[in-house]
Structure 1
Amino acid sequence: MRVATSTAYSQGVTSMNTQNYKLNKTMLQLSSGKRIVSPSDDPAGAARVLGLNQAKSRTEQFQKNINTLKSSLQIEETALNGVVDTLQRVRELSIQANSDTYDASQKAIIGLEIQEHFEAITAFANTTNGNGEFLFGGFNSRDVPFENIGGVVNYNGDQGQQFLQVSATRQIASGDNGFDVFMNVRGSDNANPASTAPMSVFAVVKELETLLRTSQGTAPETFRESMSRTIGNIDKALGQIADKQSGIGARLNATESQENVNEDYLVQLATTLSETQDLDYTEAISRLEREQIGLQASQQTFTKIQGLSLFNFI
């Protein structure tokens, strides 16, 4: 069969281009460390890598959410610890004042200290996180949740509870709203002992302050009865805060457990990704050497083909 010079020339160019493409592809694989440089290299493998990277990205976002969640819960835990410490001090003072050995002026002085603790509890209730958001405002985290107007603390937040996604199928509450924490104590109001309406932690403390500062002229028996009821309210307030602290502790434990699960999953994803897309350097370097030799051979062959024209022999 007769082969034209142009055909041989074309075949030589094609051979060189093919060898050069293979060589460049191998060099790109070596420089990137990846076996799959483009989807056409391994369509099934490329689809699997895409899915694995998406799972990795989602899980990394869950870990970021967990860090935010842990920070928020820890700040809330610190704030409630401060409330508990303050209430315990208030309780100590109330027991101390509930004695016939203290006269009205001494009780009034204790009442002044109670007032300071009242302000402290209000400040704890208006605690913010690192982003300037109020912990106890519910969904309304941008506005001050508790406002003291003439000794009466009003709640301006809502009863919502914010959650953060920590896995594909799990959410954990990042805080508690102020109504559930501070405004719903099942106490007994001295002004209306028969009432079953809930009291706020602030009202409980303010009631104690009022009792101590206005004890002048109050019958001892009436005073002790009112103080006993108020001390009972303080105990209920402490119990309610303790319940919230227990809930925070449980959520922190759950968060840390999920964090470990996510970390293990990320390790598994990294291993699978490596097995799917990472390059076998030993094989690739050996292939590179073969392809370099192939390209050199194609170039040498093409050089000889260029010299086969009959005009070179005239």
Structure 2
Amino acid sequence: MRISTTQLFGLNVQQMNNQQSELAQLYQQIASGQAISTPSDNPLGASQAVQLSMQASELSQYTSNQSTALTSLHAEDSTLSSVSNVLQSVNTQLVHAGDASLSDTNRGAIAQDLIGLKNQLLGLANANDGQGNYLFAGFQTTSQPFSTNAAGTVTYNGDTGVRSIQVTSSHQVAVSDSGASVFLSVAAVGTTSISAGSASNTGTGVVGTVSTLNASNPANQDKYTITFAGSGASSTYTITDNTTGTTSAAQPYSAGSAITLGGQSVSITGAPAAGDTFTVTPATQAGTDIFSSIDAAIAALQTPVVGTAGSANLSNSLSTAMQKVQNAMNNVVTVQASVGGREQELQALQTVTQNSSLQTQSNLSDLTQINLTSTISKYTMTQYALQAAQQGFVKIQGMSLFNYIN
């Protein structure tokens, strides 16, 4: 096949142009460190790079969300530990107040200590996460959840909302618990019914704590009233199930003997007077506001004790308060255990997300960044090839038949 001079020149020029274009592209890659500068460099690779970049950005956001969630949960966990300590101090003071040798003045001093502990508890209930968001306000994070009126009664101003943060593409984690669930509730498991004596009792009967005999007995959810009649050896009592409206036949009273109420029992000591009443109420119905429970104990301690009946009423009040505090402590421990579980979950997710992020960045780097040694080597080889082509073209360009005609 005959190749004309024009074709020969065109082929050589085209080859040199291609080499110069490749050389320029290689130089640009060396200068930028990127294998893909424009989608046209590698359309498939560019598409994959976009997807990997989006995935990396998403993982980065989840990492940030996980850190934010963990910070909030750490703050709540620490605050709940302090709440447990305060409630333990309250319980200790209530036990001390039950010392029969104390005077009204001594009990008044204990009441002042309880007021201080209540204020500490109120401060913890209004704690924030360090960023101005109240921990126990529900969704009302910028409003103080608990306030005190002129009478000293604590009121909850938040809601029952639970804030959550998206920590993976398919999972959210709760980063808060409402003040209602922490300070105004009792746990569904591990609580006992509350026994109490009427403030109008005139005898010396003191009710004990409730013992659970059969936790699965549905009658444990009923409220009971124990009413006494007669006195001395002829003292009797009846049991009224206020939920069903039934009343048992009168039974003889024996101080300290167990009185069965469904799947639970309670004992009463001392000598109740005719007309004295005692109640046993499920924990969820007996008043679950811990602030109100402390207020009731303070009021009982500030009331002068008159006679044996007054001592019995004080003992009943303190016993009731201690039972409620114990249930409140159990509730706080339950909430704190839930917080701890969420913390562990987030720490595990952080590890998984970090590994995924590193892998994604590695894949993106492999796709978009050059191997500098290999690229420089290829650049040098292309440069030599271009120089050889240019030198060869110069010689071909100088070839002519007329050079051999004399």
| TM-score over 0.5 (shorter chain) | yes
**Is the CA contact 1:215–1:223 (under 8 Å) kept in the aligned structure 2?**
no
Structure 1 residue matching 2:383: 3-state secondary structure: helix
Structure 2 residue matching 1:165: 3-state secondary structure: strand
Q: Please report how far the alpha carbon of residue 15 of structure 1 lies from its aligned counterpart in structure 2 after TM superposition.
A: 4.8
Alignment-derived partner of residue 81 in structure 2: 81
Alignment-derived partner of residue 312 in structure 1: none
Instruction: Find out whether 1:207 has 2:208 as its counterpart.
Output: no
Q: Please report how far the alpha carbon of residue 41 of structure 1 lies from its aligned counterpart in structure 2 after TM superposition.
A: 2.1
Q: Compare the two structures and name the one with the higher helix fraction.
A: 1
Q: Counterparts in 2 of 1:37-48, with a 5 A limit?
A: 37-48=37-48
**Is the CA contact 1:137–1:157 (under 8 Å) kept in the aligned structure 2?**
yes
Q: Please report how far the alpha carbon of residue 258 of structure 1 lies from its aligned counterpart in structure 2 after TM superposition.
A: 0.8
Larger mean CA deviation between 133-142 and 22-31 belongs to: 22-31
Q: Please report how far the alpha carbon of residue 231 of structure 1 lies from its aligned counterpart in structure 2 after TM superposition.
A: 0.5
Aligned residue type for 1:166: V
Structure 2 residue matching 1:143: 3-state secondary structure: coil
What TM-score does the superposition give when structure 2 sets the normalisation length?
0.69
Alignment-derived partner of residue 173 in structure 1: 174
Q: Please report how far the alpha carbon of residue 165 of structure 1 lies from its aligned counterpart in structure 2 after TM superposition.
A: 1.4
Structure 1 residue matching 2:37: 3-state secondary structure: coil
Q: How well do the aligned residues superpose, as a CA RMSD in angstroms?
A: 2.9
Larger mean CA deviation between 206-215 and 93-102 belongs to: 206-215
Q: Counterparts in 2 of 1:54-65, with a 5 A limit?
A: 54-65=54-65
Larger mean CA deviation between 231-240 and 149-158 belongs to: 149-158
**Is the CA contact 2:197–2:316 (under 8 Å) kept in the aligned structure 1?**
no
**Is the CA contact 2:305–2:314 (under 8 Å) kept in the aligned structure 1?**
no
Instruction: Find out whether 1:247 has 2:338 as its counterpart.
Output: yes
Aligned residue type for 2:383: Q
Q: Please report how far the alpha carbon of residue 106 of structure 1 lies from its aligned counterpart in structure 2 after TM superposition.
A: 0.5
Larger mean CA deviation between 114-123 and 265-274 belongs to: 265-274
Q: Please report how far the alpha carbon of residue 31 of structure 1 lies from its aligned counterpart in structure 2 after TM superposition.
A: 2.6
Aligned residue type for 2:176: G
Aligned residue type for 2:172: Q
CA deviation map 1:28-87 (0-9, x unaligned): 222333322322222222211211121111111111111111111111011111111011
Instruction: Find out whether 1:26 has 2:115 as its counterpart.
Output: no
Q: Counterparts in 2 of 1:1-314, with a 5 A limit?
A: 15-150=15-150, 151-185=152-186, 196=285, 198-217=287-306, 219-297=310-388, 300=391
**Is the CA contact 1:145–1:178 (under 8 Å) kept in the aligned structure 2?**
yes
Aligned residue type for 2:62: F
Aligned residue type for 1:44: L
Q: Compare the two structures and name the one with the higher strand fraction.
A: 2
| Identical aligned residues as a percent | 28
**Is the CA contact 2:143–2:158 (under 8 Å) kept in the aligned structure 1?**
yes
Q: Whose relative contact order is higher, 1 or 2, with alpha carbons under 8 Å and at least 6 apart?
A: 1
Q: For 1:253 and 1:74, locate their aligned partners in 2 and report how far apart those are by CA, in whole Å.
A: 11
Q: For 1:30 and 1:275, locate their aligned partners in 2 and report how far apart those are by CA, in whole Å.
A: 15
Larger mean CA deviation between 75-84 and 28-37 belongs to: 28-37
Which structure has the greater CA radius of gyration?
2
Q: For 1:139 and 1:191, locate their aligned partners in 2 and report how far apart those are by CA, in whole Å.
A: 39
Structure 2 residue matching 1:164: 3-state secondary structure: strand
Structure 2 segments unaligned to the other structure (5+ residues): 188-192, 200-278, 401-406
Aligned residue type for 1:261: V
Aligned residue type for 1:181: V
Structure 1 segments unaligned to the other structure (5+ residues): 310-314
Q: Please report how far the alpha carbon of residue 302 of structure 1 lies from its aligned counterpart in structure 2 after TM superposition.
A: 7.0
Q: Please report how far the alpha carbon of residue 14 of structure 1 lies from its aligned counterpart in structure 2 after TM superposition.
A: 5.0
